[in-house]
């Protein structure tokens, strides 16, 4: 019962931006996390992996784009957007234990969506 409640809560916290975002990946990945501390740890680890994938994908996109300066500017602006959007989503839970979880799930979803977007435009890093 508690596990179902936590899963339902996580799905409710996931952001749904206009771009096609995989909102179930982070939840499934951290489905075994039963406390907010476990959720924070799990989503933090997932964010580290997503940030690494983003860095690899961005480097490859930058090298292939032919417009590195423009892409650098777009990426910096996108990162500011992501951080502001996720802080806004977390603000709904201001002072609660789920605030960091909301921020982390938002950040994870948007980062993964950005990786897919860059891959669609410029190809995967290993291509």
Strands (E), 16-112: none
Q: Which residue has the higher pLDDT, 123 or 9?
A: 123
Measure Cα distances from 61 to 28, 77, 115 in Å. Answer: 29, 16, 10
CB neighbour list of residue 64: distance below 8 Å, 6 or more residues apart: 122, 123
Residue 27 binned pLDDT confidence (cut-offs 50, 70, 90): low
pLDDT number for residue 16: 38
- pLDDT, tens only, 31-75: 999 999 999 999 999 999 999 999 999 999 999 999 999 999 999
Mean pLDDT of 73-89: 98
Residue 83 burial (10 A CB sphere; 0-12, 13-18, 19+) = middle
pLDDT at 26: 55
Q: Is the pLDDT of residue 28 over 60?
A: yes
Count of CB atoms within 10 A of residue 73's CB? Answer: 11
Using the predicted structure, report yes or no on whether residue 8 has a pLDDT greater than 80. Answer: no
Burial of 25 (0-12, 13-18, 19+ CB in 10 A): middle
């Amino acid at each position: 019962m508690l596990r179902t409640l936590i899963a339902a809560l996580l799905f409710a916290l996931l952001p749904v931006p206009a771009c096609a975002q995989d909102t179930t990946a982070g939840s499934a990945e951290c489905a075994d996390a039963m406390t907010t501390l476990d959720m924070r740890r799990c989503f933090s680890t997932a964010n580290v992996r997503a940030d690494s994938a983003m860095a690899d994908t961005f480097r490859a996109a930058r090298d292939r784009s032919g417009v590195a300066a423009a892409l650098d500017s777009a990426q910096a602006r996108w990162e500011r957007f992501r951080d502001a959007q996720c802080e806004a989503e977390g603000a709904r839970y201001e002072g609660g234990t789920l605030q960091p979880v909301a921020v982390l799930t938002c950040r994870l979803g948007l980062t993964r969506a950005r990786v897919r977007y860059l891959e669609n435009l410029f190809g995967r890093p290993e291509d």
